[in-house]
Amino acid sequence: MVFLEQLRDAASNTLRLPKFTLKPRKPKDDKDKDAKRPHSNDDAQPTAKKKKLPKRPDVMYLRDPKKKREEQAPKMKQKGRGPYKSHQEMTRSRSGV
């Protein structure tokens, strides 16, 4: 038998993994867990309160975008509407004729 394995290894010229077995698993002991816990979850009270996240300061929300837009309006480049006329221009040309 050993000779055949040696012959097979030499013929195939491949590496093989060593033979191994899994470690036997230990069963869980439910009795030990109950002994470690003095009380059940039903009667338990929370030992530590959850940490509250700090609130963001109100200063962040005092910015008024409408006021900021009005301040920047004179500095903004005026953009035309292209070849199309606005509603006001259309009404002016009709009333002038």
Using CA atoms, how far apart are residues 40 and 89, in angstroms rounded to an integer?
81
Task: Tell me the CA end-to-end span of the chain in Å, nearest whole number.
Answer: 115
Nearest to 63 by CA among 75, 54, 71: 71
Q: Is the dihedral of CA 43, 45, 46, 48 positive or negative?
A: negative
Banded model confidence at residue 33, pLDDT cuts 50, 70, 90:
low
What would the mean pLDDT of 23-45 be, rounded to a whole number?
Answer: 65
| Inter-residue contact 9 to 16 (CB < 8 Å) | yes
Whole-structure pTM value: 0.20
Phi, psi of 68 (to 5 degrees): -65, -40
State residue 74's pLDDT score.
84
Per-domain residue ranges for the chain? Answer: 2-93
